[in-house]
Amino acid sequence: MSKLLRPALVSLLILSFSTVTAQTAMAQTGNGQADEGGIDIDSLFDEPDGETDGGHAVAGDTNEDSEAGETSEIGDTDETGPVVDIGALTTSAASVTGSVSAGLGFGLGLIEWPGSAAADGRDLSELRRYSALYSTSARMTVDARPAPYLRFRTSLSSSLNVDRMAFNSPGVDELFVDYTFADTVFIRAGYYGMTWGQGRLLDNPANLVTDVSDGVAVRGTVPLGPGTVTALVYSKKAWVDAYTAEHPAAFAYAGQWETTLGPVTMGLAGRYRKDDLVGSTASMSYGVGNLTFAADGVRWWDKDDPTGGMSYWQAMGHAFWESDDRAWSLMVEYEFDQRVRNDRGAYIGHRTGVAMRAPKVGGSTWRPAVRWEHAFQDDSGKVIPGISGTVAPSLSMSIGVPVVYGAPGTFYRDALIVESGEAAEDREPGAIPIDNVVSVLVAVSLSFSF
């Protein structure tokens, strides 16, 4: 079993069925924040994939919904009604929660279409590829709110290393302390993840804080005028190791201002580190009925040569629609990257994507979805139709048929190899690349929380 194929099967199935999930969560919560933890397979279409943090400033604001075990107590009533114990609403004893997931999968695919020039005369038996996967992981979380202004949270996880057939040593996924000063200034310090920007289907170019999860950070959020301001200072090991008097770049600094005026949300953000390009973004979203439009503009610029040199633009825009009963969802997204040019110097870094999910089939738990992405610079792309459903309590099955098109070496033909973490020249002898032109993937997953 090629170790390059295991992450391919997992990632392709997840991409196929969780496309609309994050945006749906944004529509539900209204603040772009998503629940933490792994994907709940039983609710694959209804829960967000990964953690996001829009930087919204609410005293004591967190990325999680109220944890199990938190209770509100209502005291004795009088003529004016019940007396609410505010302290009980904002404090809780330490709670321990966990999640476990395990999966088995099988894949059958073709590395090239028979009869094509790329097949180079090989017959079907030489072009087909079989693969299998199995995985197990577990996560434990401790969360405590001993006072309305104070909170501590940490999560540990471990997963099966199938090469050694042993579990990896537990690693820290997050560890942070929250403190709210005067019910106004919210501070979070420690190891955690953040996501800025509104890209959900393709990339997220406005995510200036993508590397926060690689180190430790201190974040503060405070109301300012009609909106809120978030300021962030963070560092990671590689920056500290490279620190010298001549290159004092051990820290990065980022800030975001955001405000909402009726159906319109606007924001500005920036990031600075001495040895990197300066990043700046402007964002806007607008919701009308069941339709939401969003756009991000990003400028990376060389502080010594702002109008030339390494400076470049990126942009993202998308539209999301969901029916009143949430049975149908549709997302369309566009992205531009000024760094991608053709041999004549013209900008060709345009990509687009469409994702749709349909109602459950015949009143069952099975729900189909399809995702399409296309890169205009080399006419490559991928189409992933699939269906997922619950086959037993806490047990689900996913079936996907990803088709990748484009000439060998184009953006999407190489994308899966890049995602696997190994370039073609670095593969082990005999390892099979994962840029199939077509595959049939089937996975069965067990997932539960406690």
Domains within the chain, CATH numbers bracketed: 5-66+85-449 (2.40.160.10)
Which of 189, 170, 168, 169 minimizes the C-alpha distance to 178? 189
Give the long-range contacts of residues 327-330, CB within 8 A, separation 24 or more: 327/358, 327/359, 327/360, 328/356, 328/357, 328/358, 328/359, 329/20, 329/23, 329/24, 329/355, 329/356, 329/357, 330/20, 330/354, 330/355, 330/356
pLDDT of residue 63: 41
Q: Are 27 and 292 in contact (CB under 8 A)?
A: yes
Which tens digits make up the pLDDT trace of 371-426?
A: 999 999 889 999 999 999 999 999 999 999 999 998 888 888 876 544 444 444 44
CA atoms within 13 A on the CB side of 262: 3
pLDDT of residue 93: 83
Residue with tokens 């009963």: 325
What is the Cα–Cα distance from 369 to 400, expressed in whole angstroms?
9
Which of 380, 446, 385, 419 minimizes the C-alpha distance to 6? 419
For 393-437, strand residue ranges (E) read: 395-400, 403-405
What is the Cα–Cα distance from 348 to 256, expressed in whole angstroms?
30
What is the Cα–Cα distance from 50 to 25, expressed in whole angstroms?
11
| Predicted structure pTM score | 0.74
What is the Cα–Cα distance from 385 to 371, expressed in whole angstroms?
6
What is the Cα–Cα distance from 378 to 265, expressed in whole angstroms?
35
Q: Are 270 and 281 in contact (CB under 8 A)?
A: yes
Q: Pull the structure tokens for residue 8.
A: 């391919």
Integer CA distances (angstroms), 226 to 31, 74, 258, 259, 397, in order: 16, 34, 9, 6, 47
Over the chain (450 residues), the average pLDDT of each successive run of 10 is: 42 41 34 31 30 36 36 37 51 90 91 87 88 90 94 95 87 95 93 94 94 94 93 94 81 96 95 93 95 96 80 95 95 94 78 95 92 93 94 93 88 63 42 68 93
Integer CA distances (angstroms), 432 to 109, 128, 316, 380, 417, in order: 12, 11, 34, 21, 10
Beta bridge mates, 372: 354, 383
What is the Cα–Cα distance from 296 to 360, expressed in whole angstroms?
33
pLDDT of residue 345: 67
Q: Pull the structure tokens for residue 187.
A: 């501070």
pLDDT of residue 398: 93
224 three-state secondary structure: strand
What is the Cα–Cα distance from 382 to 365, expressed in whole angstroms?
26
- C-alpha 366: how far from chain center: 24
pLDDT of residue 223: 93
Which of 129, 236, 158 minimizes the C-alpha distance to 193? 236
